[in-house]
Amino acid sequence: MDKFLIQGGNRLHGRVKISGAKNGALALMPAVILAPGIYHLHNTPNLRDVWTMSRLLGSLGIFCELNGNDLTMDARQISSFEAPYEHVKKMRASFYVLGPLLARYGWAKVSLPGGCAWGPRPVDLHLKGLEKLGAKITLEQGYVIAEADKLKGDRFHFDISSVGATGNVLMAAVLARGVTELTNAAIEPEITSLARMLIKMGAKIDGIGTSHLIIEGVETLNPVDEENIPDRIEAATYLIAAAMTKGRVELENTNPYHLSSVIEKMEETGCNIDVNGNKIFIEMDDDPKPINIKTSIYPGIPTDVQAQWTAYMLLAQGNSFITDSVYHDRFKHIPELQRLGADINVVDNVAIIKGGKKLSGAIVMSSDLRASASLILAGLVSDGVTEVLRVYHLDRGYESVEKKLENLGASIKRVKSEMI
């Protein structure tokens, strides 16, 4: 198992190219189930979650090949309608295949994902939405079995705005008979991007970019070439890395608009940020001002940036509060940050950070993807060497992270570890 050795203290400077969005690719890839043919998805990040989705689609009969960042998916023949536990347990986004399989074939069997590292993550809204379109859902031995001769359009309101449930129900609705109206649908850029791809495939969707989607079902769809959006969470992580190390960094291949809330908050901490087309330049000379954040659905501060922001606020001279209103238990990184010297208390879903404490390198353990990112960020500014174990979590969502950080001047090395 790999680990990272990070020698803290280097300022980051230079340019970094942001990869295609992990969560974008994971939403677009299952859409190929909806129509036979060959698809090309450009700007696909080469990372573990994309490999997992490729393997899952492969098990359905869809051959996937990643060449650089161009993904070819051959969906001419689908031979299985089942997503086994071995794939779904590795990645919850595997659940995305349920809606399109059901819509196209009238039957699908998909393993239930179960909980995740930081707590329960239900899929009730995915199932309720599909039921509203006429699916019969049964649960058997850890699997969801969904059946419907032909899905029928209807109205469905998401009690909670959910990225995954919106994606799933949307992919089902495009082939349903009649009109589907979704309210309180997610408006995250990854969902908007999925809706755009579906329209390119021939779907009829109104209200893109809003929480009110009106979908008129069509009989068939066509394969397409599509460009994946840039990864806004990876971009936010590099912005924070630059600010924490008092660096000067230019991010290329971003969509700054998707990062508006993060950029705004970073400016409040004292960063100087310039946006030029798809580039973002950041420089920071001082310790950040303590700024409170509360995560929320898009366009708010993403919960996927909460752990990295926590690392950032360790450097502030003063107290700050970080509230996660999306995932209330997402604080697995905190005990590990405490091992580096952080002074943080968690009360309910709020982390209270007393910034300005000295951080010194230690061995720390990744528990999930964004927690790993926060440990690396803290390692970049800790005295001495920080060893981050279990970096396979990080490999799920950050393409070439050590190369990108090294190019920016960080001292970070990947080594094999005996320790688990």
DSSP conformation letters of 223-259 = --EEEPPB-HHHHHHHHHHHHHTT-EEEEES--GGGG
Q: Which is nearer to ligand UD1, 107 or 327 (CB)?
A: 327
Say whether residue 327 binds ligand UD1 (CB under 6 A). Answer: yes
Q: 379, 12 in Cβ contact below 8 A?
A: no
Q: 113, 121 in Cβ contact below 8 A?
A: yes
Q: How far is CA 76 from CA 168, 222, 358, in A?
A: 21, 11, 58
Instruction: Tell me how far apart the alpha carbons of residues 125 and 376 are, in angstroms, rounded to a whole number.
Output: 34
Catalytically annotated residue among 65, 115, 116, 155? 116
Point out which span in 157-165, 234-242, 255-263, 311-319 binds ligand UD1 (CB under 6 A).
157-165
Q: Which is nearer to ligand UD1, 173 or 326 (CB)?
A: 326
Q: Which is nearer to ligand UD1, 123 or 342 (CB)?
A: 123
Say whether residue 115 binds ligand UD1 (CB under 6 A). Answer: no
Residue from 53, 57, 123, 144 binding ligand UD1 (CB under 6 A): 123
Q: How far is CA 125 from CA 51, 156, 174, 212, in A?
A: 26, 10, 18, 16
Say whether residue 395 binds ligand UD1 (CB under 6 A). Answer: no
Q: 293, 322 in Cβ contact below 8 A?
A: yes
Q: Shortest approach of ligand UD1 to residue 116 CB, angstroms?
A: 8
Q: Which is nearer to ligand UD1, 35 or 144 (CB)?
A: 144
Q: Shortest approach of ligand UD1 to residue 324 CB, angstroms?
A: 10
Residue from 14, 115, 122, 142 binding ligand UD1 (CB under 6 A): 122
- Pairing state of beta strands 13-17 and 248-252? parallel
Sheet containing strand 385-389, edge to edge, reads 363-365, 385-389, 2-7, 411-416
Neighbouring C-beta atoms of residue 64, cutoff 10 Å: 22
Residues from 24 through 43 that contact ligand UD1 (CB under 6 A): 26
- Is 116 a known active-site residue? yes
Q: How many amino acids of this chain bind ligand UD1 (CB under 6 A)? A: 22
Q: Which is nearer to ligand UD1, 260 or 338 (CB)?
A: 260
Q: Shortest approach of ligand UD1 to residue 259 CB, angstroms?
A: 14
Sign of CA dihedral 24, 25, 26, 31: positive
**DSSP class of residue 150?**
S
Point out which span in 56-64, 121-129, 133-141, 305-313 binds ligand UD1 (CB under 6 A).
121-129
User: Token digits for 384?
Assistant: 């001495």
Show the binding pattern over residues 75-114: x = contacts ligand UD1 (CB under 6 A), - = does not: -----------------xx---------------------
Residue from 35, 153, 190, 377 binding ligand UD1 (CB under 6 A): 190
Sheet containing strand 63-67, edge to edge, reads 63-67, 70-74, 38-42, 225-227
Binding positions for ligand UD1, rule: CB under 6 A: 23, 26, 92-93, 121-126, 160, 162-165, 186, 190, 302-304, 326-327
Active site residues: 116
